[in-house]
Amino acid sequence: MVFDTTYKNEDYNQQSLLLVGKSFRFIERIKQGGIGSSRLIIKSKSPKLDLGKLKFGEIDYGNIELRPRGIIVHYTSKLERFSWIIPYYRLVIYNSQFFSIHANGNCIQFLKNKNYSTNKKFIDKMIAIKNEYLNLSYYDS
């Protein structure tokens, strides 16, 4: 589900609690070494995720927030901020020429540049948490 979170949005708050749970507590955040990625440059988005009104040559940025039962991908388009809520059981990650996140027939692709390199440890942690939550011990991350 994608929500416009430029301003306070009660529907977003309710759905995020329902689908991915409350944010980690402060102590858990410290133990995990942080629950958010640094910013990533977006290469492309699915049409359903591309809610910006007009298209120009601007660069869109996004970041990923970990939650107990899923992730939230926050991204900006012009001055608007959007949040895409993805439970772990719907999350699919591809790491090829681009780093991409897929769920519910939608996808967002991030460039593999210097920002990706700094986020590699975070992405590995996200995959490990997903595998632990879904009890996917057969997957070697």
Predicted local distance difference test score (pLDDT) of residue 49: 82
CA–CA distance, 28 with 122 (Å, rounded to integer): 15
Q: CB neighbours of 140 closer than 8 A, spacing ≥ 6?
A: none
CB 109 within 8 A of CB 47: no
Structural domains of the chain sorted by starting position, each given as residue range(s) with its CATH number in brackets: 2-133 (2.30.29)
DSSP 141: -
The three-point CA angle 30-36-38 to 5° equals 120
Q: In what order do the strands lie in the sheet with 99-103?
A: 2-4, 80-87, 70-77, 61-67, 40-45, 106-110, 99-103, 92-95
pLDDT given at position 54: 53
Per-residue model confidence (pLDDT) at position 116: 83
pLDDT tens digits for 31-78? Answer: 988 899 999 999 998 888 877 655 666 788 999 999 999 999 999 887
Of 107, 87, 89, 110, residue with least CA distance to 99: 110
**Structure token digits, residue 59:** 């660069």
Render pLDDT for 107-118 as a digit per residue (tens, 0 to 9): 999 999 888 888
Q: In this structure, what token pair is assigned to residue 122?
A: 């975070």
Question: Are the CB atoms for 90 and 73 separated by under 8 Å?
Answer: no
